[in-house]
Amino acid sequence: MAKEFGYLATVMIFFTLVEMVDYEQLWYYRYEILVMFAATTLIRALSMAKFALFGHRFNLIKPVGFEGWFILTFSGMKGALSIILVQMIPDSFAHKALLELVTIGVVMLSIFGYGVTLWGGTLS
């Protein structure tokens, strides 16, 4: 059932993004979006590594192995909360448009990039 709720949430975020996206501006900030996507993915991978690498040493952390690490790293989306928070920045902030576009771009890459990664990883 959690999987279905995840699909529903992804679809809702996708429809929200369709209404918000300015594709020309996304293309203009493509390098910033890719750098931020890579950085946040690396941070997530490193933070999830504790479960795979150190889970067997501590009673409070359960070991998950490589497959569990892979799923923990690529299953979550950077999504709705990020968009809500960036929308709360005052309009007077000079770089609000940049932050909004980069956030939306990272969310879109998370939906499609992580989705394809997990789908490909679970087919084998």
Q: Is residue 63 part of a domain?
A: yes
Q: Is residue 13 part of a domain?
A: no
Q: Is residue 95 part of a domain?
A: yes
Q: Is residue 3 part of a domain?
A: no
Counting Cα atoms < 13 Å in the Cβ hemisphere of 106 gives 24
Nearest to 74, CA basis, from 103, 41, 106? 41
Count of structural domains within the chain? 1
pTM to 2 decimals? Answer: 0.71
Q: Give how far Cα 120 sits from Cα of 16, 74, 117, Å.
A: 26, 11, 5
Domain containing 78 equals 24-118
Q: Is residue 90 part of a domain?
A: yes
Q: How many residues are there in the chain?
A: 124
Contacts of 66 (CB under 8 A, 6+ apart): 52
Q: Is residue 69 part of a domain?
A: yes
Q: E strands within 1-124?
A: none
The pLDDT-based confidence of 69 (bands split at 50, 70, 90) is confident
Q: Is residue 50 part of a domain?
A: yes
pLDDT of residue 96: 92
